[in-house]
Structures are given as structure tokens and as C-alpha cells.
Amino acid sequence: MRVIGTAGHVDHGKSTLIQALTGTHPDRLKEEQAREMTIELGFAWLTLPNGEEVGIVDVPGHRDFIENMLAGIGGIDAALLIIAADEGIMPQTKEHLAILDLLEISSALIVLTKTDLASDSGWLELLELDIRQTLSNTTLKDSPIIKVSAKNKTGLDELITNLQSLLENKPIRPNLNRPRLPIDRVFSMSGFGTVVTGTLSDGELNVGDEIEILPNNLKGRIRGLQTHKKKEETATPGSRTAVNISGIETESIKRGDVLVHPNQYQATRRIDAKLNLLKDISNPIKHGDEVKFFVGASEGIATIRLLGTEELKAAETGWIQLELREPILAVRDDRYILRRPSPSETLGGGIIVDHQPKGRHKRFDEDVLKSLEALSHGSPAEVLLEAASALGIASIKDVTSKSRLDSEQFETAIDELIANQHIILLEENKNPESLVVSFSEWQKTKEKILGLVSDYHKQYRLRSGMPKEELKNKIKLSSKQFNIVLEFLITNHELRFTNVVSMPEHEILFTQQEQAAVKNLMRKFEENPYATPSVKECQGDVGEEVLNALLESNELISVSQDVIFRKKDYDDMLEKIKSHIKQSGQITLAEARDIFSTTRKYAQAVLEYLDAINITVRAGDVRKLK
């Protein structure tokens, strides 16, 4: 399914030609019919001799409605540039031509209409020369010129034959399984409810699909689909599509919103792009200028951040970052147009190279400019690497979406990058949800994590390692990202994890002074193994950090907030208590106290500890094995 669009000066016969070709007059508004002038977008369709149906978008030619024209021209496969034979090239002819050139719409036919009003062959030859001269430095320079008269029905067959040939040589739109329908009309139909129309790209829509309207995140479902007023179960890329939506009110949607599948796209307020300025703009573009930004069917106000320069003059090309007043949905490789708000004029346009940049770029950073060049002109692998670098640690699905590569290009590129270790696959299996990261970004992330753990060891040399949650809080990663990154580092023996995170080479070593203090403390435990020094006394003898190290290494066992035993003495108590219960069926607090010739405090502490770790269970005044 293909869509063509008209372009040209007001009153040059665009709508009349469409009516002659299709039998449908595209002017649907009473005001348009009364003024005999297209104001809003009009739509029609025709069937080519080869059976292919072609949608037609008719755009306004009057300069007052140029922005309505921009809402319809962005999604077309080919253009019909209409020039009236009795008037020739006019101001809006040139502006529409400039817009087609900026959008790089190279598939076009130049249609000389109203030839019945210019029967002088010499005049038509001069007009053709003038047209060729005007087209010479544009994407339309080699387009055929077809002479027609809608009134006399001459030249229409030749026009249709050339249109069919033009479209047969143009590749079909790719299906990236990420449907995107920029909405150019919204209305309500009695008995049906909300209907939106647009030209579908990037994927299919099906009746019953859950959908989302961006940028306002409105959720609904597809009740019905039509293409050229025929019901369809599936709408394919490139088709003019009407979507009947349930769950969303008509008043909530506006032209320029985009219909998508949920969770596949995000709106943005910042865009990196290449800008080509027209040669006849009135004033240069300066850093900080406000402009009107047009992409797809949407328009918005944006502030220009010039990268690498302070201003761009007429006919110059440069890199820009656009900061949008309101969020808009756009993606890499979309073509866009900029206009000056006042006085109104088309300034230029170009291609979006990054629709989700990380943040504000440093304006004169050479690395930023090199990265944008790679995104603009690079191989699939280079484009993919830049997309991955921009996202940091991200799922393969998100990198795919940002790169805008088709599935075959993506698979080849990512396998190449993983094999060469330019991209690190952080999980064992490669699937859409698996996390990947560029090598340079991985080095930064790894160095930060290892640095934090190393610094923790320096600050707390007598601790086994850093608590996992404390490390996570210092790394700006989601829980999923953090856990997968940590597991990757552990698997590759760059970190160690028991109940805390540590460097593989880390070990707890006491100074000679600390060793002497520990030896002295252990002597006290040996003298009274079942009536040991309190926690406070232990801290006084060896210090809090040394005591914690002894507890972490299991040399000492804490059975309560104030009772600690040596590991070997605790093990001895455990075996004797278990043995007594096996012989007697139970043990009382008094019996435990007497077995170890200790006080109630120590006997109670160890019994309550064994209850807590599920070795014993209390039944009244006795304990039994659990």
C-alpha cells in the first residue's frame, strides 16, 4: 500500500486533478467548497492498472495554510508537484518544492495542469526549461514532467502509467513490528465513536489490539480498521488507515498525536538532528532561537541549541539539539521541517539522528559531534554502537528501538559487536529483554563499582565486605540492572559475594596490636567458656571493628545482644543440649544452666537463640527438638 501527496501553489488545480483521477473531490469542508480552495488535508484513492491501491493526500497550496500542508506531506511515498501551465512556477511552488527537498522525497512526478489554457507549444517548452532549471539542485531534478488537462481529460492515462512505474521501483515500507500512526484527522462517527486517521508506518495494526495515544499515554483498544473505506482486520505499513478506537474520547486526541502499541515508544522533549538551511532565509539561525518544529503530523515550539557554532547562515548545514516546549513522538531517521514563528517562513529541515539523547550536550564537545556523525552516516554496526552508548545499560529491545535498524541489519550488527567485544552481553542468553552495554560504558560502570568496593575495604579494612544494598544505593541502576551487573562481575571473578560484596583478594588482617588484644580476649573466654565477657567488655578490650571481624569470621558467635561465645564453645553447648533432649525428650532452663554451671542469663540466651534458628521449639517451660 502506497500513499502519494500533492504539492504546489494555490489554485493550480491539485484538487481538480485528484477528482479527475479518482472521482472523489478531496475538499470536504463547506468553506473549502465555497472558496474553491483547499484549507485542510483532503484524502482520496485510486486503483492503478496493476491492481495496487494508492492513497492520495491533497494539501493546501495557499501560503496561509502551509502548516496544514506539512501535517500531510511527511508520510508520503511519492509526490505530485502540481504547476499550472498558465501561470508557471509561483511562490508556493518554490516553498513546497523546498519542503519536498528537505524531506528528501525524491520519488515524484511534475504535473503540468491546465494545459488547455496554454495551447502555445512554445510557451510550454519555455515553461519546461524553467521547471528543469528550478529543479536542478533538488531531489526532484530527474522527475518526469507530465502534461495534463483535468477539464479535457487529456494526459491522465500517461500520468497513471508513470505513477505506477514510479511506485513499482520504490521499495515497500519495512515492517519493524513497531506500528506508528501519526494522526492527521480525529472525528466521531455516530454508532462507532472515536475515529482517527493517518499513514501507518513501521508495523501492522490488528482489530482487537491494545493501543496507546502518545504523548498523553491514553490507553484504548482497536474496534475496527478501514483502508479506503473498506473494512480490514489488519492494516499494513504504508497504508492510509482509519482506526475506530474504544476507551478514548474524541476530545482527548488532537492532530499530531501518534497511535502506537503500548510500551514500544516514548515521547521526547529533546532531539538531536542535522539541519540544512534554505538558501533564501531572511536571517541566520542563532543559538537559543525559538522555532516551529514539524515532524510526522505534529508541530510544536522548540528552542534551538546550536552545536559547534554560534550561528548558521542561509544554505549552511549544522548539528542542533532541539528542546521542545511540549513532548512529541519522533524517532531516528524521521525527516523534519523548521519554520520561523514570526514573520512566518520555512527555514530548513533535515534528519533526526537521536530521538532520546541522554541530556544537554556540551555545545563545543568534539566527541558529541563525532557521535552524531556516526549516527548519521555510520554502518549498521556503528549506528547500533552509538545507540547502545547513548542508552547505557539497556535491553536489546530498547537498543533495537533506538537504533531503528530492521531485524536483519540489527542481528548482523549486534553479533558483530558482541564478537568484537564492542558491546557486552551481560546475560547468558540473547533475547529481547537481555541487557547489553557498550564496552566504553561498561568500563565506566565497572570501574565505579570496583572503586566503591575497594574504597569500602580501605575505610573498613576489618569488615568482610560492603552490604549489597549499600552498594546498590550508590549506583544509579535499576534493581534488575544492578543484580545482573553484579552477577556478571561475580561470574567473571571480579567481585566476590557471600552475604556481602568484596574484592576477590580481600582478606581481614589484624595488626600486631590487634592480635595481642584478641589473644587477651580469647584467654578470658577460655577461662569462663559459659559465662563470657559481655559485648561491652569485648568492645572495650579489642574495639568495635575487631569484635565485628571476629563475629563475621565466625570465630565468635553472638546469641543475643549481650551474650557471645567462642565458636567451639557454642558448638559444644549445642551438642550437649541436643544430646540431653534426645535422652530426656526435653530440657528446662534450669537443666541447661546446671549442665554448663552457668547463670540463668547465659542459659536463657543460648536456648532462645536455638529457638530462633529452628533447632528447638519451646513448649511451656521446656524445649524440645524441632
For the segment 238-267, the average pLDDT, to the nearest whole number, is 94
User: Within this chain, do residues 605 and 546 fall inside the same structural domain, yes or no?
Assistant: yes
> Sign of the C-alpha dihedral, residues 145, 151, 154, 158?
positive
User: Within this chain, do residues 361 and 236 fall inside the same structural domain, yes or no?
Assistant: no
Q: What is the pTM of this model?
A: 0.69
pLDDT of residue 67 exceeding 70, the answer is no
Torsion of CA 610, 612, 618, 621, to 10 degrees: 70
For the segment 473-498, the average pLDDT, to the nearest whole number, is 94
Report residue 548 as a C-alpha cell.
565485628
pLDDT of residue 472 exceeding 90, the answer is yes
* CA contacts within 13 A on the Cβ side of 59: 33
Q: How many domains does the chain have?
A: 4
Is 421 part of a structural domain of the chain? no
Measuring CA to CA, how many Å separate 207 from each of 221, 244, 448?
8, 9, 49
pLDDT of residue 450 exceeding 90, the answer is yes
Average pLDDT, the chain: 90
Domain boundary, last residue among 368, 402, 436: 368
Shortest CA distance to 398 belongs to which of 480, 323, 296, 322? 480
Q: Cell numbers 530548513 correspond to what residue?
A: 348
From the CA atom positions of the chain, what is the Rg in Å?
37
Percentage of the chain surpassing pLDDT 90? 70
Q: What is the DSSP letter of 362?
A: P
User: Within this chain, do residues 69 and 157 fall inside the same structural domain, yes or no?
Assistant: yes
User: Within this chain, do residues 11 and 140 fall inside the same structural domain, yes or no?
Assistant: yes
Find all residues with CB under 8 Å of 80, minimum gap 6, and list them.
Answer: 4, 5, 6, 7, 14, 17, 108, 109, 111, 163
Q: What is the pLDDT of residue 58?
A: 80
Q: Residue 622, Cβ neighbours under 10 Å: how many?
A: 16
Q: What is the pLDDT of residue 72?
A: 60
Report residue 416 as a C-alpha cell.
558483530
What's the distance, Cα to Cα, between the start and end of the chain in Å? 73
For 78-118, the pLDDT digits (tens) are: 999 999 999 999 988 998 898 888 888 889 999 999 998 88
Q: What is the pLDDT of residue 64?
A: 43
Q: Of 482 and 402, which is predicted with more confidence? A: 482
Tell me, what CATH number does 188's domain have? 2.40.30.10
Q: What is the pLDDT of residue 35?
A: 39
Is 77 part of a structural domain of the chain? yes
Q: Cell numbers 536489546 correspond to what residue?
A: 396
Is 252 part of a structural domain of the chain? yes
User: Within this chain, do residues 279 and 219 fall inside the same structural domain, yes or no?
Assistant: no
> Sign of the C-alpha dihedral, residues 535, 539, 544, 546?
negative
Q: What is the pLDDT of residue 560?
A: 94
For the segment 160-185, the average pLDDT, to the nearest whole number, is 90
For 317-335, the pLDDT digits (tens) are: 999 999 999 999 999 889 9
Is 384 part of a structural domain of the chain? no
Is 417 part of a structural domain of the chain? no
Query: For residues 418 and 436, what is the distance between their CA atoms, to the nearest angstrom?
Result: 9
User: Within this chain, do residues 273 and 323 fall inside the same structural domain, yes or no?
Assistant: yes
For the segment 523-539, the average pLDDT, to the nearest whole number, is 94
For the segment 459-464, the average pLDDT, to the nearest whole number, is 92
DSSP 95-118: HHHHHHHHTT---EEEEEE-GGG-
Q: Cell numbers 502518545 correspond to what residue?
A: 214
Strand order through the sheet with 616-619:
587-588, 622-625, 616-619
Torsion of CA 276, 281, 283, 286, to 10 degrees: -20
User: Within this chain, do residues 323 and 287 fall inside the same structural domain, yes or no?
Assistant: yes
Query: For residues 264 and 178, what is the distance between their CA atoms, to the nearest angstrom?
Result: 7
For 350-403, the pLDDT digits (tens) are: 999 999 888 899 999 998 998 888 888 878 888 888 889 888 999 998 898 888
Report residue 100 as a C-alpha cell.
519536498
Least confident of 182-196, 271-285, 367-381, 544-558: 367-381
User: Within this chain, do residues 162 and 211 fall inside the same structural domain, yes or no?
Assistant: no
For the segment 157-176, the average pLDDT, to the nearest whole number, is 90
For the segment 215-229, the average pLDDT, to the nearest whole number, is 94
Tell me, what CATH number does 524's domain have? 1.10.10.10
Tell me, what CATH number does 104's domain have? 3.40.50.300
Can you give the residue range of the structural domain that contains 101?
2-168
Q: Is 537 exposed, middle or buried (0-12, 13-18, 19+ CB in 10 A)?
A: middle
For the segment 529-555, the average pLDDT, to the nearest whole number, is 93
Shortest CA distance to 319 belongs to which of 281, 292, 357? 357
Is 67 part of a structural domain of the chain? yes
Cβ–Cβ under 8 Å, residues 619 and 607: no
DSSP strand pairing (290-295 vs 298-307): antiparallel
User: Within this chain, do residues 243 and 275 fall inside the same structural domain, yes or no?
Assistant: no
For 20-56, the pLDDT digits (tens) are: 998 887 655 444 344 343 335 778 899 999 999 998 8
Report residue 166 as a C-alpha cell.
514510479
Domain boundary, last residue among 118, 141, 168: 168
Query: For residues 11 and 8, what is the distance between their CA atoms, to the nearest angstrom?
Result: 9
Is 209 part of a structural domain of the chain? yes
Cβ–Cβ under 8 Å, residues 86 and 119: no
For the segment 448-456, the average pLDDT, to the nearest whole number, is 96
Any long-range contacts for 225-232 (C-beta under 8 Å, 24+ apart)? Answer: 227/1, 227/53, 227/55, 228/45, 228/53, 228/55, 232/207
For 576-585, the pLDDT digits (tens) are: 999 999 999 9
Q: What is the pLDDT of residue 338?
A: 94
Query: For residues 310 and 301, what is the distance between their CA atoms, to the nearest angstrom?
Result: 20
Percentage of the chain surpassing pLDDT 70? 95
Q: At what angle do helices 66-73 and 91-102 cross, to 10 degrees?
A: 30
For the segment 205-212, the average pLDDT, to the nearest whole number, is 97
Question: In the chain, what are the helix, strand and coil shares in percent, each to the nearest 5?
Answer: 35, 30, 35
Q: Cell numbers 574484592 correspond to what residue?
A: 503
270: confidence class by pLDDT, cuts 50, 70, 90: very high
Shortest CA distance to 562 belongs to which of 604, 616, 520, 596? 604
What is the separation of C-alpha 103 from the centre of its chain, rounded to a whole number of angstroms? Answer: 23
User: Within this chain, do residues 147 and 104 fall inside the same structural domain, yes or no?
Assistant: yes
Q: Residue 385, Cβ neighbours under 10 Å: how many?
A: 27
Q: What is the DSSP letter of 422?
A: S
Q: Is 268 helix (H, G, I), strand (E, B) or coil?
A: strand
User: Within this chain, do residues 354 and 213 fall inside the same structural domain, yes or no?
Assistant: no
Domain boundary, last residue among 368, 401, 427: 368
Is 62 part of a structural domain of the chain? yes
Cis peptide before 432 (omega within 30 of 0): no
DSSP strand pairing (53-58 vs 2-8): parallel
User: Within this chain, do residues 83 and 19 fall inside the same structural domain, yes or no?
Assistant: yes
Report residue 19 as a C-alpha cell.
477528482
